[in-house]
Amino acid sequence: MEKKNIVVLDGYTLNPGDLSWDALHELGNCTIYDRTAPDQVVERCQDADIVLTNKVLLRESEIQQLPRLRYIGVLATGYNVIDLSAAAARGIVVTNIPAYSTASVAQMVFAHLLNIVNAVQQHTESVRNGEWCRSTDFSYMLSPQTELAGKTIGIVGLGNIGRTVADIAHAFGMRVIAKTSRRAEDLPSYITPMPLDALLAESDVITLHCPLTPDTQHLINKHTLTLMKQGAILINTGRGPLIDEEAVADALNSGHLRAVGVDVLAVEPASCHNPLLQARNAFFTPHIAWATYEARVRLMNICLDNIRAYLAGTPINRVG
């Protein structure tokens, strides 16, 4: 069988050098780009049978100019970077990578939460600067230390990641409530489903794990922020536009929110004008919750399995 031409448009975030592309090269004539600008897509994919992309857009205009293209593999779970209607009109198979980063993203939720409630880095810097050496007391605190046991965590969206967050929160001794379409009898006894307004009112910590849709864009906004407890903590490792960043920044600066921890922003890379960047008690990671070595190995392996299945005529993880 003639080998297919495979083009990877933005391979750097998946493999910055610690993984191997060898198995992909075995599946076809492979060209790998670390990054691709929008105006380079058509030129680079002109002879491609298979295109792999993470964040580079393949819209109708690009798809119509790629006559050989028969398969698009999205190197992520979300596939909004692909015009599925245009792909379907051409009979192009589109696949994604489901559930590869569940444990890693859930871990980042608690990395942010523990950073907020214990301020380990802040105290480390204080000790390195000699403040403990100069202290007259054996112990001092630069910020309130908060025990998670007994606190209420509200999880918005109870898919794979939301369920894993619930399990970890339960292990910490937290009360777990969730906004979910699942019935109470289908959930573990330690998860209590409830409407969003009630969840926001009762939660000490709110963490977002719902998909981004027209209904969930700016789910956290000026109005819903007023429903939250004074001093609540907000975590977003889902999608940046789930929160109205200006409204959240205002809630932080007024003291209504204790802190926010985010791994995602509405515009990425971050805009220097993003109001959250200057807000008090706002903590950031640059969209890396998904990117542990272990998760990226899983992503690569699922990507390879997806291509093998497509070449065998039995596509898996198909979204279009």
Tokens 């819209």 label which residue?
59
**What residue type is 263 in one-letter code?**
D
Give burial (CB, 10 Å; 0-12/13-18/19+) of 17.
exposed
d(CA 158, CA 156): 7
Q: How far is residue 35's CA from residue 46's CA, in Å, rounded to a whole number?
A: 17
Q: For the chain, how many residues are written?
A: 320
∠ Cα 205 259 163 (to 5°): 30
The closest alpha carbon to 108, from 252, 229, 208, 219, belongs to 208
Count CB-CB contacts under 10 A for residue 81: 17
Contact 72, 92 (CB under 8 A): yes
Report how far residue 106's alpha carbon sits from residue 176's, in angstroms, rounded to the nearest whole number.
15
Q: Is 239 a catalytic residue?
A: yes
3-state secondary structure of 233: strand
Q: Which of the residues 175, 209, 239, 258 is marked catalytic?
A: 239
Contact status, residue 222 vs residue 246, Cβ threshold 8 Å? no
CB 53 within 8 A of CB 80: no
- Classify residue 58 by its DSSP letter: B
Q: Please identify which of the residues 59, 268, 280, 318 carries the catalytic annotation.
A: 268
Active site members: 239, 268, 287
